């Protein structure tokens, strides 16, 4: 099972990313903006990330993805991380979210 340490290591690998705990939640930011929320549950963790319009429908069709309350209408999607395949989808979503949130000058440092 994927744990918080695995998610943390992945998120902190992005240029200028850091961990924060507003409202008691674990989030990862670049600058003042959040690019990942991490939530715990009895059956595993989930990440909430920002996705562009062209990927939302694709993600919405997958059973591990959900539209979170309150922020879903703004393009945020949640990914349940219960299996290794879910983590692969989560990594992809985190990378996309970072690119949407981070300043362009950091994109080249983050790689493709």
In angstroms, rounded to a whole number, what is the distance separating the alpha carbons of residues 44 and 56? 22
pLDDT at 75: 95
pLDDT at 1: 74
pLDDT at 111: 59
DSSP sequence for the chain: ---HHHHHHHHHTSTTEEEE-GGG-EEEEETTEEEEEEEEETTEEEEEEE--HHHHHHHHTSTTEE--TTTGGGTEEEEEE-SHHHHHHHHHHHHHHHHHHS-HHHHHHH--
pLDDT at 24: 86
The CATH code belonging to domain 4-107 is 3.90.1150.30
Consecutive 10-residue runs of the chain (112 residues): their mean pLDDT?
92 97 93 95 88 94 92 95 90 96 81 54
pLDDT at 110: 62
């Amino acid at each position: 099972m994927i744990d918080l340490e695995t998610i943390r290591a992945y998120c902190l690998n992005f240029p200028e990313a850091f961990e924060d705990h507003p409202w008691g939640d674990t989030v990862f930011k670049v600058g003042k903006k959040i690019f990942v929320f991490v939530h715990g549950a009895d059956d595993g963790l989930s990440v909430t990330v920002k996705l562009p319009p062209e990927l939302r429908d694709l993600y919405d069709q997958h059973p591990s993805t959900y539209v979170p309350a309150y922020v879903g209408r703004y393009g945020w999607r949640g990914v349940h991380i219960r299996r290794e395949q879910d983590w692969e989808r989560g990594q992809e979503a985190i990378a996309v979210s970072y690119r949407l949130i981070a300043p362009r000058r950091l994109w080249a440092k983050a790689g493709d």
